[in-house]
Structure 1
Amino acid sequence: MRKSFAPIEMWEAVKNNNSNYDYMFYYGVKTTGVFCIPSCNSRTPLKDNVVYFRNVDEAIEKGFRPCKRCRPDLIGYNPEKKLVNEIKRLIETEYYLLKNVSSISEKIGLSKTQVYRLFREYLKFTPKEYLEKIRIEKACELLEDGILNNAEIGLEVGFASISAFYAVFRKQTGCSPGEFRD
C-alpha cells in the first residue's frame, strides 16, 4: 500500500466500488480465492470473507488468483476499451460487409445501444460515423486507382445505394466522387 488505510476505510472502498483506491490496495475473497481492485463490479462479498493486500504479488503469494472481470494483475486494463478496439478492427476489416450498426453489434455480441455507448464514451463519435469514415477512405483509394467507376466503388465499399455513397462522400470530403477523381 502506498498509503496506510484503516480496515474500515478499505471496506468502504470495496463496498462502494470506489475507483479512487484502485491499485492502492487489493482485496481478496477467502471463499472464492480471487482478488480484485476496489472498483471491481463483482458482487460485494461478505465483510468477514475479505482480506487486504498491499500489492498483486502479496495476493498471489497468499494463494489468491486475479479476478477475470477487473484483471487486477494488469494495471490499467480496461475491458471496455478492449471491446472498442475490437469493434474498430471489425469495422476496418469488414467495412464492405457490414450493413449497419446492428450487424456490427451482432458480430461482436453486444446490443446496439452498448456499441453506441462505448464508441461515444471512448472515441467521441458513433460507430456509424466511423464506418462511413472507413468506407470513404477506401473509396478515395479506389478513386485514385481509377479502375472502377463511381457507382461500382460505392457498392464495393459497402454502401447500400449510390445516392447514399454520394451523400456521405460529399459530406466528408466536400466534393463529389467525380470531382475527387479529377
Structure 2
Amino acid sequence: MITLDRKQEYYEALVSKNTEYEGLFYVGVKTTGIFCRPTCPARKPKFENCEFYETAQQALLASFRPCQRCRPLSHPNHVSAVIRTLVEAVERNPEKRWKTQDFRELAIDESTARRQFKKRFGMTFVEYARARRMGIALKNIRSGRSIIDSQLDTGYESSSGFRDAFARIMGTAPTRLDGEHVLKATWLDTPLGPMLAIADEQSLVLLEFVDRRGLEREVERLRIREKAAIIPGRTSPIDEIEAELEQYFAGTLTKFQTPIRMIGSPFQQSVWNALMQIPSGETRSYQQIAISLGRPTASRAVARANGSNQLAVIIPCHRVITSGGELGGYAGGLTRKDWLLKHEYAHREQVGTEQESS
C-alpha cells in the first residue's frame, strides 16, 4: 500500500525527473491512460491525475498502457529489440493469447523473450501479455459501462472484432448474454490495492486482489463451472461486501455478514469453514487445522485447500501460518498477509483495552 506521503514523494521525483527513483515506481496518468517511468520527458500531469505503482505489472493490471516516449518496459540504458518488438505487437492486439507460432512469425525465440522480460521486469512476456489483457477487462469492469461503450472505449472499429475480444476475456460474446446464467463483476478499491468481486443476485462467489497470480485462470474456471457469463455490473452482495470491506479496513468490523457461496470439493469447504472459525487477531497452523478436521496427516491437503480459497479476507486464509510460526504462502502476497495479521491483532488489542476500561 502506497501512503499519501509516499505518493507526494513520488510526485516530486516525477516533476524533477529524479533518476534515483528509476525502478522504484511507475506513474499511471488518468487523463491519457498511459504509465511512465519517473524520468519521462513528457509534460507532467497534475497530482490528482496520477496513480502510483511499485511494479509495471500493477500498472498494466490497472489498465494503463506503456508510454511510447519513456518506454517503461525497457531498461533505461538499453532498449532491447526483442522487448520493443513484442511490446509493440501486444499493443496492436492487446487481447491476443500468445502461442508458439506467434513468436515464430516474429522471428523471436520464445525462451529468449521469456528470459529478457523476466530479467528486466520480474515477469515473463506471457505474464506481461496476460496483465495487459486482464487490465483491459478490469477497466471495463471498473467503469461498469455498457457493452457498446466498452466497444468504443477499447477502440474496436468493427463489432465482430469486439465480440471476439470480449469472448476471450469474459467467456461469452455480448449478444449471447440474454437468457444465460449471469455473474456480475465489479472493481473495488481497498487500502491494500484493488479487488475483483464477482457475484450473482444471491451471493458473492469470488473476491480477489486483482494482481493475484493466476486470477484470469481462476475467473475462467469459475465461469466454466458455473456455466455462466461474467459481465460488468453490481448486485446486492457486491454492495454489501464493499460496505463491509470499508468497515473492516477501518478496524470496526471483524466478522463478515455478506452472503457467500463456496465453490469447491467437500474437503475444501470443510477447510474453508474451519478458517472462518479462527478469531480475528489469532492464527492457526496447517497442522492445527488438519487436527481440528480429524485428519492430522492432511496438512498438505489443508495447505492446498487454503491456496484455493476464492474469497480473500472473508475466508481468512491469511490467518494460517506454518508450524514454525512463519507466514508461509499467500496468493495475495506476503506483504499483504503480514499487514492483515498486524491490522487484525492491533484491532483485537484495541477492543480488549476498551472492554477493560468500560
Q: Which TM-score band applies after superposition, normalised by the shorter structure?
A: 0.3 to 0.5
Larger Rg: 1
TM-score normalised over the length of structure 1: 0.39
Which one has the bigger helix percentage?
1
TM-score normalised over the length of structure 2: 0.21
